[in-house]
Amino acid sequence: MSQKLVVALAQVNFLVGDIPGNTQRVIDCANSVAAEGGCDLVLFSELALTGYPPEDLLLRPSLARRIDEALARIRAEVRDVAVVVGYPKEQGGKLRNMAGVIVDGHLVYEYAKQYLPNYQVFDEKRYFEPASETGIFELNGHKIGLAICEDVWHPEPIVAMKEAGARAILSLNASPFHKGKTTERTQLMAEHARLAELPLIYVNQVGAQDELVFDGGSQVLDAEGELAFMGAHYEEATYKVELDPETGAVKPLQPSIPEPSYEASIYQALVVGVRDYINKNGFKGVVFGLSGGIDSALTAAVAVDALGPDRVECVMMPFTYTSSMSIEDAALEAEALGIKHSVISIEPMYESFMQQLTGEFEGLPLDATEENLQARCRGVLLMAISNKKGYLVLTTSNKSETAVGYSTLYGDMAGGFCVLKDIPKTLVYRLSRYRNTISPVIPERVIERPPSAELRPDQTDQDSLPDYDELDAILELYIEKDLSARAIIDKGYSEETVLRVVRLVDINEYKRRQAPIGTRITQRGFGRDRRYPITSGWKAGV
């Protein structure tokens, strides 16, 4: 019996629904590891064969046949190394979230997930039935525990594996990113490794799926709960660790990769979110309005870092109230990033619309209608370019604006993907300064000047909204922490301001429901994990 085992952690970017393609990636990765020699097992992520989350694809009648074919291919084409891979499968008439162990052409063991997450972005109870059997299999005479994602967030499966004689725990995961997530994972995995007194080998999916980003960061904890190894975030890679099942000692066979900084981690999540959404959906590139403001400037930087300058196009669409500074700054940003930049005035379109609406507007005062019409002219231009060139329109609203409805339906909300949808305005400034440390692409005066939509003379955002420091603090308490208006007021915020902000959030649900998706980076983004009715008699005031 070999004293030690070498386990490879395969941190792979799978494509949801592409079962043949995902299967080929598993086969190629496993055979590459086998060809290098000296490895006993390759560990893949949760639901690797379907990608995660597969959502209602799990309800398709052909799913079982496709998974059977995929497993048959792996059994036939992988040799000289064991594989642990995730997939959905019926077991006793119930669909389970499974992990299978394949050795020398045989499916020697299957484990079904016990704990099904049904909170935030997770809907697993919609599709799967939980199991209760402890995951234990033998490899080279050693008992190894198996867990799938949520299982290792609970102590019961950990204790059960220890009591069943496991000498190490392997965990397959599809754990999406939000700010602070790496620290949460590491702390809990360390606690449970200490609880079991066993090494814990944790592999995580990498890449983006719609609004979710999976950040990788696969890790290994030793039997004392010390972090022995951490893999790269946001990058595909395969890492190896040598495990001594008798002593619980682990020896990474490559150096650990430090966790990125707070700003770097969030910025890279945005880059991966854009890159995978555009590439996996087959778009040629992106186009967006570059206004000379900070939101579109940061969006431009993210887009270029995701796709390269040749696949990014921006349009400055000035109007009467657009300052010369904005026109200049937009041109400077485009030049610094090396992207195609054009200028199309919306004045002729706007005047034509207003002329046609003269009869409808007769006797009515000027109001936000005329401001919204400017935004809608810009939306029409961008969508026309999108249709003609096959470029997806990126929108540039941030979370603060999206929360309170400071945006125009069929105007600046027109598009296919919102890069900053979950980025509060105060974080937009932090990320912009961070990006300039890599290379200076956002002019300093864009960061310093008061933000403005420039839809009327001398307009600033604070004409309509509270100061962003105060607004973002209130929004975080109300949206991400679910505090009531009274609880927020009790923290020292103005009652008038809180009630106004809360009301704006509630009445603009209809806008958010029609907004494009965007990368999620908080624990409560507008999308999969915040689902409020549009029509509602609920009163959020005190």
Distance CA(125)–CA(7), nearest Å, equals 31
Residues 160 and 308 in one domain: no
List, in sequence order, every residue forming a beta bridge with 230; answer none if it has no partner: 219
What's residue 460's pLDDT?
Answer: 62
In a domain, 518, yes or no: no
In a domain, 512, yes or no: no
In a domain, 521, yes or no: no
Residues 250 and 311 in one domain: no
Query: pLDDT tens-digit profile of 347-401?
Result: 999 999 999 999 999 999 999 999 999 999 999 999 999 999 999 999 999 999 9
Q: Residue 325: how many CB atoms within 10 A of its CB?
A: 13
List, in sequence order, every residue forming a beta bridge with 385; answer none if it has no partner: none
Distance CA(441)–CA(451), nearest Å, equals 18
Residues 311 and 226 in one domain: no
Q: Looking at the predicted structure, is the pLDDT value of residue 542 above 80? A: no
Residue of 171, 103, 113 whose CA lies nearest to 139: 103
Distance CA(181)–CA(420), nearest Å, equals 19
Q: Looking at the predicted structure, is the pLDDT value of residue 511 above 70? A: yes
> What are the DSSP calls for 247-305, one per residue?
TTEEEESS---PPPPHHHHHHHHHHHHHHHHHHHTT--EEEEE--SSHHHHHHHHHHHH
Query: pLDDT tens-digit profile of 410-467?
Result: 999 999 999 999 999 999 999 999 999 999 999 999 998 876 655 556 556 565 688 9
What's residue 465's pLDDT?
Answer: 81
Distance CA(275)–CA(451), nearest Å, equals 28
Residue with tokens 């619309």: 353
- Show which of 222, 257, 292 is a domain's final residue: 257
List, in sequence order, every residue forming a beta bridge with 147; answer none if it has no partner: 171
Residue with tokens 């649900």: 509
Distance CA(81)–CA(3), nearest Å, equals 17
In a domain, 541, yes or no: no
Distance CA(174)–CA(216), nearest Å, equals 9
List, in sequence order, every residue forming a beta bridge with 98; answer none if it has no partner: 87, 112
Residues 56 and 193 in one domain: yes
Tell me what the mean pLDDT of segment 288-294 comes to: 93
In a domain, 266, yes or no: no
What's residue 458's pLDDT?
Answer: 58
Residues 139 and 228 in one domain: yes
Residues 429 and 322 in one domain: yes
- DSSP H/E element including 112: strand 106-112
Residues 64 and 126 in one domain: yes
Angle at 415 between CA 409 and CA 416, to 5 degrees: 130
- Show which of 462, 486, 502 is a domain's final residue: 462
Residues 91 and 30 in one domain: yes
Distance CA(355)–CA(361), nearest Å, equals 10
Distance CA(215)–CA(520), nearest Å, equals 12
Q: Looking at the predicted structure, is the pLDDT value of residue 127 above 90? A: yes
How many independent structural domains does the chain possess? 2
Q: Look up the CATH number of the domain holding residue 118.
A: 3.60.110.10
- Show which of 257, 275, 304 is a domain's final residue: 257
In a domain, 514, yes or no: no
Q: Looking at the predicted structure, is the pLDDT value of residue 528 above 90? A: no
- DSSP H/E element including 139: strand 136-139
Coil/strand/helix, residue 233: strand
What is the set of active-site residues?
46, 113, 149
Residues 312 and 182 in one domain: no
Give the single-character DSSP code of 198. S
Distance CA(98)–CA(347), nearest Å, equals 59
Distance CA(491)–CA(470), nearest Å, equals 12
Range of the domain at 26: 5-257
Residue of 464, 489, 468, 494 whose CA lies nearest to 478: 489
Q: Look up the CATH number of the domain holding residue 406.
A: 3.40.50.620
Coil/strand/helix, residue 224: coil
Coil/strand/helix, residue 170: strand
Distance CA(368)–CA(517), nearest Å, equals 25
Q: Looking at the predicted structure, is the pLDDT value of residue 314 above 50? A: yes
Give the single-character DSSP code of 516. P
What's residue 396's pLDDT?
Answer: 95
Helix axes 468-475, 425-438, angle to 10 degrees: 110
In a domain, 482, yes or no: no
Residues 248 and 308 in one domain: no
Residues 158 and 81 in one domain: yes
Residue with tokens 């995995």: 189
Distance CA(497)–CA(500), nearest Å, equals 5
In a domain, 537, yes or no: no
Distance CA(342)–CA(364), nearest Å, equals 35
Residues 246 and 292 in one domain: no
Tell me what the mean pLDDT of segment 504-515 comes to: 94
Over 19-74, what HEC string results? HHHHHHHHHHHHHHHHHHCCCCEEECCCCCCCCCCCHHHHHCCCHHHHHHHHHHHH
Per the structure block, which two tokens stand in for 14?
A: 């799978």
What's residue 454's pLDDT?
Answer: 55
Among 103-112, 252-261, 322-331, where is mean pLDDT lowest? 322-331
- DSSP H/E element including 337: helix 324-337
